Amino acid sequence: MPLESDDYFIRPATEEDVEALFDICLMTADAGTDASALYSDRRLPGYVWAVPYLKFAPDFAFVLAGRQRVVGYVVGTPDTAAFDRELRQSWWPHVRQEIAAFSPSTPKDVDVLERIANPHSGTLGLETLYPAHLHINILPEAQSGGWGRAMIETLLGVFSKRGVPAVHLGVSPANERAKGFYRRLGFEELSQNGHLAFVMKLNRPAV
């Protein structure tokens, strides 16, 4: 799959993509589908699952750009534990200030506020054996065209070049489509305590 076609191309994410990441995260946050009816603030899921990666791990953030707008992203961190330490210091205090006046009115609002109060990224317990983790989301108009594979390969290529030994990612058990996608790409499935994750060991580059 080329990294470019007439309609879309993959490029490194920039600070100008922040609002697109908030939007795409919201539009895919209900097990891969539109969650805008489930949150009373459109930014809530993006605070947790998208934007901090662009801000604090920008070398590992890519977007799928269309002619008019950004339609997808893949973001990640090579070192989940170090990323969490940095967010505790430099991201969560800022988010808590931004949402200080917000009162939750849906169950999903409550879930995200709990996550912001007691934050961790990735899937607990996997960060030792699989230190990197990632998130990928593509809007429906650009799905099923090979771009998901191309974006994952782009990020895993960067992880490999940096000597990252292994990666994990969490998936909602209800997201059948994503589960099929990760299996097809060669990820191994791990299930523990009701949480579903996919993992992959990465080849270190030949020197």
Ligand X SMILES: CC(C)(COP(=O)(O)OP(=O)(O)OC[C@H]1O[C@@H](n2cnc3c(N)ncnc32)[C@H](O)[C@@H]1OP(=O)(O)O)[C@@H](O)C(=O)NCCC(=O)NCCS
Positions touching ligand X (CB under 6 A) are 28, 32, 136-138, 143-149, 171, 175, 177-178, 180-181, 184
Looking at the Cβ atoms of 31 and 104, the one nearer to ligand X is 31
What is the rounded end-to-end Cα distance, in angstroms, of the chain?
26
Shortest distance in whole angstroms from residue 90 CB to ligand X:
26
Looking at the Cβ atoms of 178 and 202, the one nearer to ligand X is 178
Shortest distance in whole angstroms from residue 144 CB to ligand X:
5
Q: How many CB atoms lie within 10 A of CB 2?
A: 8
| CA 128 – CA 86 distance, rounded (Å) | 17
Residue closest to 159 by CA, chosen among 73, 60, 50, 86: 60
Looking at the Cβ atoms of 104 and 125, the one nearer to ligand X is 125
Give Cα separations from 180 to 21, 117, 154 (angstroms).
24, 33, 19
Shortest distance in whole angstroms from residue 7 CB to ligand X:
13
Alpha helices, DSSP H, located in 35-106: 44-49, 51-56, 80-90, 92-98
Looking at the Cβ atoms of 91 and 181, the one nearer to ligand X is 181
Shortest distance in whole angstroms from residue 102 CB to ligand X:
25
